Structure 1
Amino acid sequence: MPYNIAMVCDFFFPQPGGVESHIYQLSSKLIDRGHKAVVITHAYKGRTGVRYLTNGLKVYHVPFFVVYRETTFPTVFSFFPIFRNICIRENIEIVHGHASLSSFCHEAILHARTMGLRTVFTDHSLFGFADAASILTNKLLKFALSDVDHVICVSHTCKENTVLRASLDPLMVSVIPNAVVADNFRPLASTASNLDANTFPGEPKALEPSHQRLGPNDTITLVVISRLFTNKGTDLLIAAIPRILADHPNVRFIIAGSGPKAIDLEQMLERNVLQDRVELLGPVRHEEVRDVMVRGHIYLHPSLTEAFGTVIVEAASCGLYVVCTRVGGIPEVLPAHMTVFAKPEEDDFVAATNRAIAALRANKVRTEKFHEQVKMMYSWTDVAERTERVYDGISGVLSEEEFYGQPIGWSATKGRSGAQSFALIDRLKRYYGCGIWAGKLFCLCVVVDYLIFVFLELWAPRANIDIARSWPKKPPAKAGISNADGPVEVGRRRSTRRDHWKGNPIG
Structure 2
Amino acid sequence: MAKVKHKICMASDFFYPNMGGVEEHIFNLSQCLLMKGYKVIVLTHSYKDRVGVRYMTNGLKVYYLPIKPFYNQCVLPLMVCSLPLIRYVLVREQITIIHGHSAFSTLAHETMMIGRLLGIQTVFTDHSLFGFADTSAIITNKFLEMSLADCNHCICVSHIGKENTVLRARVNHQRVSVIPNAVDTTAFVPKLELRSKDKITIVVVSRLVYRKGIDLLAQIMADICQKHPKIQFIIGGDGPKRELLEDVRQNLNIQNQVTLLGSLEHSQVCDVLNHGHIFLNTSLTEAYCMSIVEAASCGLKIVSTRVGGIPEVLPPELIILTEPNVQSILNGLHVAINQVNNNIGLSPVKCHELVQSLYNWMNIAKRTEIVYNMVSLEPPKSLGKQLRSYIPTGVYPFLLVVSFMHILLKILDWWIPRSDIDIAKDYNTKNSFITNDQQPDFSDK
Normalised TM-score (structure 2): 0.94
Query: What residue number does 2:423 align with?
Result: 467
CA contact (8 A) 1:51 1:59 kept: yes
CA contact (8 A) 1:106 1:144 kept: yes
CA contact (8 A) 1:52 1:58 kept: yes
Map of 1:282-293 to 2, 5 A cutoff? 282-293=262-273
Shift, 1:170, TM fit: 0.6
Q: Which amino acid aligns with 2:231?
A: V
Query: What residue number does 1:271 align with?
Result: 251
CA contact (8 A) 1:304 1:327 kept: yes
CA deviation profile, 1:287-312 (whole Å, cap 9, x unmatched): 01111111110000011111101011
> Following the alignment from structure 2 to structure 1, what is the Cα–Cα distance between the partners of residues 262 and 44?
26
- SS of structure 1 residue aligned to 2:351: helix
- SS of structure 1 residue aligned to 2:130: coil
Q: Which residue of 304, 308, 311 corresponds with 1:328?
A: 308
Map of 1:354-503 to 2, 5 A cutoff? 354-368=334-348, 369-396=350-377, 416=378, 422-435=381-394, 438=395, 440-473=396-429, 475=431, 490-491=440-441, 501=445
Shift, 1:189, TM fit: 5.1
TM-aligned CA distance change 1:455 to 1:213, over 3 Å: closer
> Which runs of 5 or more residues in structure 1 are unaligned?
191-209, 397-415, 480-488, 494-499, 502-507
Q: Which residue of 103, 112, 119 corresponds with 1:109?
A: 112
CA deviation profile, 1:3-57 (whole Å, cap 9, x unmatched): 0111111111111111111111111111111110111111112211111111111
> Following the alignment from structure 1 to structure 2, what is the Cα–Cα distance between the partners of residues 254 and 59?
33
Q: Which residue of 209, 220, 240 corresponds with 1:260?
A: 240
Shift, 1:492, TM fit: 5.6
Identity within the alignment, %: 44
Q: Which residue of 62, 75, 79 corresponds with 1:76?
A: 79
Is 1:227 aligned with 2:203?
no
CA contact (8 A) 2:156 2:177 kept: yes
CA deviation profile, 1:76-111 (whole Å, cap 9, x unmatched): 111211111111111111111111011111111111
> Following the alignment from structure 1 to structure 2, what is the Cα–Cα distance between the partners of residues 345 and 268?
18
> Which runs of 5 or more residues in structure 2 are unaligned?
none
TM-aligned CA distance change 1:474 to 1:178, over 3 Å: closer
Query: What residue number does 1:241 align with?
Result: 221
> Following the alignment from structure 1 to structure 2, what is the Cα–Cα distance between the partners of residues 281 and 81?
41
> Following the alignment from structure 2 to structure 1, what is the Cα–Cα distance between the partners of residues 430 and 150?
37
Aligned length: 437
> Following the alignment from structure 2 to structure 1, what is the Cα–Cα distance between the partners of residues 248 and 56?
42
CA deviation profile, 1:114-137 (whole Å, cap 9, x unmatched): 111100000111111111111111
Normalised TM-score (structure 1): 0.83
Shift, 1:360, TM fit: 2.0
> Following the alignment from structure 1 to structure 2, what is the Cα–Cα distance between the partners of residues 389 and 32?
16
> Following the alignment from structure 2 to structure 1, what is the Cα–Cα distance between the partners of residues 71 and 288?
23
CA deviation profile, 1:452-501 (whole Å, cap 9, x unmatched): 1111111111111111111144636x79xxxxxxxxx94366xxxxxx54
Q: Which amino acid aligns with 1:427?
A: Q
Q: Which amino acid aligns with 1:178?
A: N
Q: Which amino acid aligns with 2:134?
A: D
Shift, 1:249, TM fit: 3.4
Q: Which residue of 46, 50, 55 corresponds with 2:49?
A: 46
- SS of structure 2 residue aligned to 1:5: strand
- SS of structure 1 residue aligned to 2:145: helix
Q: Which amino acid aligns with 2:111?
A: A
TM-aligned CA distance change 1:446 to 1:60, over 3 Å: same
> Following the alignment from structure 2 to structure 1, what is the Cα–Cα distance between the partners of residues 245 and 106?
32
Deviation >6 Å, runs of 4+: none
TM-aligned CA distance change 1:312 to 1:473, over 3 Å: closer
CA contact (8 A) 2:51 2:65 kept: yes
> Following the alignment from structure 1 to structure 2, what is the Cα–Cα distance between the partners of residues 236 and 150?
37
Query: What residue number does 1:299 align with?
Result: 279
> Following the alignment from structure 1 to structure 2, what is the Cα–Cα distance between the partners of residues 270 and 72?
36
CA contact (8 A) 1:320 1:367 kept: no
CA contact (8 A) 2:54 2:441 kept: no
